[in-house]
Amino acid sequence: MKRYSIKTFLLITSLIGGVMVSHAEESDSLGMIGDNLDLYAVLETFRTAESIEKFENSLNSPENKINNLDLNEDDQIDYIKIIDNVENDAHAIILRIDLSETESQDIAVIELEKTGEENASIQIVGDEEIYGDDYIVEPLISVSTGNMPPAFVILNVWNWTSVRFIFGPT
C-alpha cells in the first residue's frame, strides 16, 4: 500500500472541491424549459418599451437574444404573443406561444397594478410548467442601514416608460 503525504491529499481534495465549486457557479439553470426565456430580461425589456407592441417586438427580435423557446420542437424559436387583460387599475399581460392552430401555452403573466395616483407595482409570474412552482420576478432595490443586513423594497414602477404608456390617456 502506498503512503500519500498530507500535502498530496490536500492538493487532490482542493482540486476536486475546486471543480465542484466551479461547476456550481457556472450553472444558473432552473433545469426547466424556462431557462430559454430569462424573466429578468423580460422585465428589463418591459421597463424600457415605449408600448405593448414594441415590447412584443423586442421580445421576439433575434438581435435582442431574449427569447430562445422552442416549445413545439420544430427547431424554430417560437413567437411570443402579448395579450393585455384589463380590470380597473390592474393589467394581466400574458406572454403566450401558439403551439398549433388549436393549442397555446402561457409562458408567464406580468401583473401590473396602479396602487396610487403616481404609484404602480409589477411582478412577473412564470408558468409552473415552464419555470416550476412559485417562480416570481419583481424589481427590488436593496436598502442598507448601519450594521443591519440589507432589506429589499419593492420598487414603484410608475415612471417606467411602458407603465406610463399603459396608464396614460388613450
Q: What is the pLDDT of residues 91-137, one digit of tens each?
A: 999 999 999 999 999 999 999 999 999 999 999 999 999 999 999 99
CA distance 16 to 14: 5
Residues near 14 by beta carbon (within 8 Å), at least 6 away in sequence = none
Region 39-46 average pLDDT: 96
Q: What is the pLDDT of residue 155?
A: 87
